[in-house]
Amino acid sequence: MSLLPKPDLSADTAYLASEEQSNGLAPTLKRVSFHTLGCRLNQSETDVLARRFEQQGYRVVPDTESADICVVNTCTVTEHSDAKNRHAIRTLHRLNPEAMITVVGCYAQINPQAITRIDGVQLVIGSEEKMRITDYLEQVDPAGPPLIVRPKISKNTFNAPVVPHSSSLPSYNKPDLVHAQHQLSEEGHIYSSKAAAIQFKSKAKEDLHALQTKTTSAEINTAIVNVRQVNNAAVLQNTRASLKIQDGCDFMCSFCIIPFARGRSRYRELQNLQEEASMLVKEGVREIVITGVNVGTYQIGKLTIVDVVDYLNSLPGLSRIRISSIEPTTVPEILLQYMNDPQHKLVPFFHLPVQSGADTILNKMKRRYSAAQYADEIWRAFETVQDLCIGTDVMVGFPEESELEFENTFNLLDKLPLTYFHVFPFSAREGTPAFQLKEQIHPQIKQKRSEILRELSTKKRRDFHQRFLGKTRNVLWESKKPEANVSGYTDNFIRVVLEETHEADLRNQLLAVKLTGIKGQTMLGKFAEN
């Protein structure tokens, strides 16, 4: 969720609340907003938190709107991440001076005292307990010091909350039109300006009039679906969802703070994650992304990540399975076979972090492979899986990294069949072995090396896209912004923007598209003719 500084949000909220009351609706519920920083795993956990708040009677609103409770889910991978955390907290407090600011996640685990010194913070919860925010809200004393909840992180297997989304469409009967009317009015909360709210209210009245002319349950259901599609007001995005299967890490790379922020590697009980996956598919999710810190290590008894994939592949209604990121030394051979099987739901996509192409640096990082071993893994995957997209993470400016070592990294990335890179300048994290190394690389050198690799990544992605010009691939459509064409992703992670304008809501549909052009880091497409 993005944080967009916007003044005087209280006036908009007051307007919407008065509108609800003037229409004889129920009193406004307590509002909670979420701001998420960092990785896909954090995004996944925020979604679960939002569901839990909804289940307990809260109204989830965007972080651009005033709220009674503001939750910040933090990241602490780099010093820059820490600065963004603090900025987000201060901004939310400025926009919501009366709100209870609650800070959770990795930064809360590593440095809770620094967080409590920020104005507005009343509750700080580390990694172990952050999924239980609602259990601690009543323990906060508004007149007292901030409450810190930071127990030792467990090493045991775990279960995660499986909470249905309260925004799932209910089945309405004719007598329930008043209920439908109430629900439609509540949809106005996602608009953060008075003008937008008025526009919504006007549209809602028109839609409700049409709704009241319906006579059958099926017609009413269809009308309500149309209302939500036309107004783009549904909170739930039913296209793609993350499924957390693992947390923490045992690899202890010398630069990484994650084992201290999230603990050692532990795994989610298979039955529990199966329950969540089944629920997500029932809610309409078409693609599930397997997430965690080190997902390839997943093992409970004889169960591995392969068993997770096998279960997901058996779910009726699910179209795609994607693995978010996996360490190159933990990839089972059978996953490559699954990806190459057109009947299997596991898509041809890998994100395999390399971090460096110089063995001397890899040794200092305490990575578990050499540059040659990494290259062998990439070529094995590329030669096995047709049309495979391979991304990677690479770090520049690791302490004592010479120009020659950087050139080794550049040359390795250049010759391998990689599609894109995520480039990260090294950030010294206190408490890690790399923090103690003497020769820190000058920031300007790190910046220059980062720019060189990002330019190479842009070229690599463009070359990858060139291979698919004129070809037809299925696209799972995800979004349509105001005054913009709809966009989505192919199975091998090509972002596609539809050339022609479409009034219909294509979101969550899997449709064949001919790839006709390249625009920046995306491809253009048009619907394939039968």
Q: How far apart are CA 305 and CA 291, in angstroms?
A: 11
Give the span between the Cα atoms of 297 and 100, in whole angstroms: 38
Q: How far apart are CA 58 and CA 70, in angstroms?
A: 12
CA 387 distance to own-chain centroid: 25
- State how far the Cα of 398 lies from the Cα of 362, in Å rounded to an integer: 10
pLDDT of 58: 92
**Which residues share a beta bridge with 59?**
31
Residue 329 lies in a domain: no
Residue type, 194: K
Same domain, 43 and 134: yes
User: In a 3-state reduction of DSSP, which class is residue 350?
Assistant: strand
Provide the CATH number for the domain around residue 46: 3.40.50.2300
Q: Say if residues 36 and 85 touch (Cβ distance below 8 Å).
A: no
Q: Same structural domain for residues 182 and 105?
A: no
- Residue type for position 271: Q
Q: In angstroms, rounded to a whole number, what is the distance separating the alpha carbons of residues 339 and 386?
A: 8
Same-domain pairing of 372 and 442: yes
Amino acid sitting at position 267: Y
| Domain co-membership, 179 together with 138 | no
Task: Give the DSSP H or E segment for 390.
Answer: strand 389-396
**Which residue, 439, 467, 495, sits at the end of a domain?**
467
Helix 403-415, helix 443-466: angle, nearest 10: 10
Q: Give yes or no: residues 45 and 78 share one domain.
A: yes
Cα gap 450→444, rounded to integer Å:
10
d(CA 294, CA 299): 11
Residues 400 and 521 in one domain: no
Q: In the listed set 467, 500, 516, which residue is the last one of a domain according to the structure?
A: 467
- Both 44 and 104 in one domain: the answer is yes
Interatomic CA distance for residues 286 and 451, integer angstroms: 36
Return the pLDDT at 480: 65
What one-character-per-residue DSSP string does 28-64 give? PPPEEEEEE-S-HHHHHHHHHHHHHHHHTT-EEE-TT
Q: From first to last of its 530 residues, what are the pLDDT tens digits of the chain?
A: 444 444 344 444 454 445 545 554 444 568 999 999 999 899 999 999 999 999 888 999 988 888 999 999 999 999 899 999 999 999 999 989 999 999 999 999 999 999 999 999 999 999 999 999 999 999 999 999 999 999 999 999 999 999 887 643 333 233 333 333 333 333 333 333 333 333 334 444 444 455 445 444 444 444 443 433 333 333 335 689 999 999 999 999 999 999 999 999 999 999 999 999 999 999 999 999 999 999 999 999 999 999 999 999 999 999 999 999 999 999 999 999 999 999 999 999 999 999 999 999 999 999 999 999 999 999 999 999 999 999 999 999 999 999 999 999 999 999 999 999 999 999 999 999 999 998 889 999 999 999 999 999 999 999 999 999 999 999 999 876 655 678 999 999 999 999 877 777 788 899 999 999 999 999 999 997 75
290 DSSP β-pair partners:
243, 323
Q: What is the rounded distance in angstroms from the CA atom of residue 236 to the CA atom of residue 228?
A: 11
Range of the domain at 498: 472-527
Strand partners, 32: 60, 69
Class of residue 436 by CB neighbours under 10 A (exposed 0-12, middle 13-18, buried 19+): exposed
Whether residue 462 is found in the same domain as residue 446:
yes
Question: Which residue is it, tokens 């495979």?
Answer: 388
- How many independent structural domains does the chain possess? 4
| In a shared domain, residues 56 and 86 | yes
Structure tokens at 121: 């913070």
SS3 (DSSP) at 320: strand
Residue 98 lies in a domain: yes
Tokens of 495: 């972002």
Residue 483: predicted pLDDT: 58
Residue 127's contacts (CB-CB under 8 Å, 6 or more residues apart) are 105, 106, 108, 109, 153, 247, 261, 262, 263
Q: Any residues with CB less than 8 A from the CB of 461 and at least 6 apart, and which? A: 419, 420, 521
> Where residue 391 sits, what CATH number does that domain have?
3.30.750.200
Per the DSSP assignment, residues forming a β-bridge with 321 are 288, 346
Q: Contact 279/317 with Cβ under 8 angstroms?
A: no
In a domain, 135, yes or no: yes
Half-sphere CA count of 468, side-chain side, radius 13 A? 27
Contact residues for 29 (Cβ-Cβ < 8 A; gap 6+): 57, 58, 59
480 lies in a domain?
yes
134 within some domain: yes
Question: Of 231, 250, 274, which residue sits at a domain end?
Answer: 231
Distances (CA, A) of 185 to 54, 218, 327: 17, 21, 47
> Alpha-carbon distance 315 to 329, whole Å?
28
Handedness of CA 82, 133, 158, 48 (dihedral sign): negative
Closest alpha carbon to 167 in 233, 87, 68, 243: 233
The CATH number that applies at residue 515 is 2.40.50.140
Whether 365 and 494 share a structural domain:
no
Q: Does 262 map to a domain?
A: no
Pairing, β 487-490 against β 495-498: antiparallel
* Site of tokens 């842009």: 458
Amino acid at the residue 115: I
Asked if residue 501 belongs to a domain, the reply is yes
The 8 Å CB, 24+ separation contacts for 24-29 are 25/182, 25/185, 25/186, 26/182, 28/59, 29/57, 29/58, 29/59
User: Both 405 and 489 in a single domain?
Assistant: no
Burial of 455 (0-12, 13-18, 19+ CB in 10 A): exposed
d(CA 466, CA 470): 9
Clarify whether residues 218 and 117 are in a common domain: no
So what's the pLDDT on residue 181? 35
Helix (H, G, I), strand (E, B) or coil at 192: coil
Question: Which pLDDT does position 85 carry in this prediction?
Answer: 95
